[in-house]
Chain A
Amino acid sequence: MPSNISLLALVLITIVKGAVLIGALLMAFAYGTWLERRLVGRFQLRLGPNRVGPLGLMQPMADGVKVIFKEDFVPAQADRLAYWLAPALVVAVALTAFAVIPFGPPSVKLFGVPLFYISNVNVGILLILAVTSIGAYGVILGGWASNSKYSLLGGLRSTAQLISYELGVGLAILGVILLAGTLELPQIVEQQAGTWFGFLPRWNIFLQPLGFLLYSIGALAETNRAPFDLPEAEQELTTGYQTEYGGMKSAMFYMAEYIDIVLVSSIATLLFLGGWQGPFIQQLPGLGVLWFLVKVLAFVFIFIWLRATLPRIRYDQLMDLGWKVVLPLALLNLLLTALIVLIWPWLGGGG
């Protein structure tokens, strides 16, 4: 904590930064839906929404207005507390995790505090894992509180999926942490500066290709995106744990889903794709935010591409993949990384 400004000023700056970040994330949600609908349209040789505003850019606003003025509804004999809590919890959790995501280099400062992240804690990446693990409650509570069989089954399924793939994701991330020797996200990114052999960026994806692949699979499953969107498999479960949610409450589940997509894309960018590192970053540090956003957008694009391409897999296949493929491979990756770091400590930044 810098000592040359008062505590009050620090709190004020943090609040303003948080408000700006939340606003940006809500816009990212709105235009995430627009991007997905336009892109899926293109993938299916359609046009996608284009009548509301130029290029259909006002479509998310129309959807938002409609959803806000929909009937407010609670099913009969539902547990009202849990029914209301569930959507609020998932959104709050998704937003909270962004508190430790650095969007740009820490050298860019405003009033003596780094501009591009809200806080840098010693346990950075672990904190994100901890906060997102709370998100499972929103899903399971939403499924239970609705007093509907579809919802309950969808909630149980979804939670089982979340817990199963959390292991694989955690172990895949551990490989990067072993290389870096730290849990602080800004430091992990700083260690990915420079190039190998003069042309290849020194990103962790080239040291941890298997880890990156496993993380991507786990991230798809954790955000309940196709081909792992079993919780809302419409043939069997209507819409899974969201079945009895309508109007703004169901929109909040979608909000959490899209913010989670941005979150896992950000983590992938920070851990594997060099975060804000890119050309001309030394001369103009503010440019880092642009590189960061470009990489995150590329990852989001791949998410949407996969959704338009792959069919949904069966539930037993999902569990087999999680426990019999992703988990053992992640363990293998961890062992190999530990061995390599032991032999050539200079490969990672931590040593």
Chain B
Amino acid sequence: MGVASPVADSPFLVAKLEELINWGRKHSVWPMTFGLACCAIEMMEAGASRFDMARFGMEVFRNSPRQSDLMIVAGRVSQKMGPVLKHLYDQMLEPKWVIAMGDCSSSGGIFNNYAIIQGVDKIVPVDVYVAGCPPSPDNLLYGLIKLQGKIAREHPLHPVARQADLRELLAKAS
């Protein structure tokens, strides 16, 4: 961005620009066409007429990871799928977010065995966990709106402040 010490120079402008960036990012989260198991059926349902993710500008399922902002891990991730998933995540351009949809991708769910990765957060950073087996489309929509709120709180121009925020949150939690 080229903004070294934004707060000292002109905090007003930077704050506004950050709001603008966050506004754009949060209203235009394009997911990747990526389904792993039964949760993917519910993900498709969320894009269909009854629930319609399109209302939030999120129906643009991109086929290429280079053009998508959000990876919805919809289903269990087997040990063999893990490297593929990591590869796709690495191919996405910053900023990128991950939703672990359903119990399997959040924690392994009912598949407590050697073949399934016990939670996708073991290989990629997860922003929002959506519970359910599978979660209904309105659960996923709730998770997406939570993600929008999370994006709105980010500081794209000075990541240092973001860490300070995190520390504050951690202090509150403990």
* A64 vs B27: C-alpha distance when bound (angstroms): 11
Nearest B-chain residue to A62, judged by Cβ: B27
Nearest A-chain residue to B20, judged by Cβ: A65
Flag if B67 contacts A245 (CB, 8 Å): yes
* A67 vs B68: C-alpha distance when bound (angstroms): 10
Q: Inter-chain contact count A-B, CB under 8 Å?
A: 102
Flag if B156 contacts A69 (CB, 8 Å): yes
Among B20, B66, B94, max chain A CB count under 10 A is at B66
* A63 vs B30: C-alpha distance when bound (angstroms): 9
Chain A proximity mask over B49-93: 1 for CB below 8 Å, otherwise 0? 100101111011011101101000000000000000000000001
Distance between A71 CB and nearest chain B CB, rounded to angstroms: 4
Flag if B54 contacts A47 (CB, 8 Å): yes
Check A37/B54 contact, CB under 8 A, given A44-B49, A66-B24.
yes
* A46 vs B33: C-alpha distance when bound (angstroms): 19
Chain A interface, >50% SS class: loop
Distance between A72 CB and nearest chain B CB, rounded to angstroms: 8
Nearest A-chain residue to B25, judged by Cβ: A66
Flag if B94 contacts A63 (CB, 8 Å): no
Flag if B63 contacts A64 (CB, 8 Å): no
Is A194 part of the binding interface, using a Cβ–Cβ cutoff of 8 Å?
no
* A246 vs B96: C-alpha distance when bound (angstroms): 12
Chain B hits for A58, CB < 8 A? 27
Chain B hits for A164, CB < 8 A? none
Flag if A56 contacts B57 (CB, 8 Å): yes
Distance between B20 CB and nearest chain A CB, rounded to angstroms: 6
- A window 49-107: CB within 8 A of B: 49-52, 56, 58-59, 61-71, 73
Is B48 part of the binding interface, using a Cβ–Cβ cutoff of 8 Å?
yes
Flag if A70 contacts B52 (CB, 8 Å): no
Flag if A70 contacts B63 (CB, 8 Å): no
- B window 12-34: CB within 8 A of A: 20-21, 23-25, 27-28, 33
Flag if A70 contacts B94 (CB, 8 Å): yes
Flag if A66 contacts B55 (CB, 8 Å): no
Partner of A245, one of B28, B63, B66: B66
Flag if A239 contacts B23 (CB, 8 Å): no
Check A63/B63 contact, CB under 8 A, given A69-B21, A247-B93.
no
Check A69/B55 contact, CB under 8 A, given A44-B49, A239-B62.
no
Flag if A52 contacts B27 (CB, 8 Å): yes
Chain B hits for A45, CB < 8 A? 49
Flag if A41 contacts B54 (CB, 8 Å): yes
Flag if B64 contacts A238 (CB, 8 Å): yes
* A37 vs B57: C-alpha distance when bound (angstroms): 9
* A273 vs B137: C-alpha distance when bound (angstroms): 46
Chain A hits for B69, CB < 8 A? 66, 70
- Chain B residues proximal to chain A, CB less than 8 Å: 20-21, 23-25, 27-28, 33, 48-49, 52, 54-57, 59-60, 62-64, 66-67, 69, 93-95, 156
Of the A-B pairs whose beta carbons lie under 8 Å apart in the complex, a sample of 23, sorted by A's number, is A41-B52, A47-B54, A49-B57, A50-B55, A51-B56, A59-B28, A62-B24, A62-B27, A62-B57, A65-B20, A65-B24, A66-B28, A66-B69, A69-B24, A70-B69, A70-B94, A71-B93, A234-B33, A245-B64, A246-B64, A246-B66, A246-B93, A247-B93
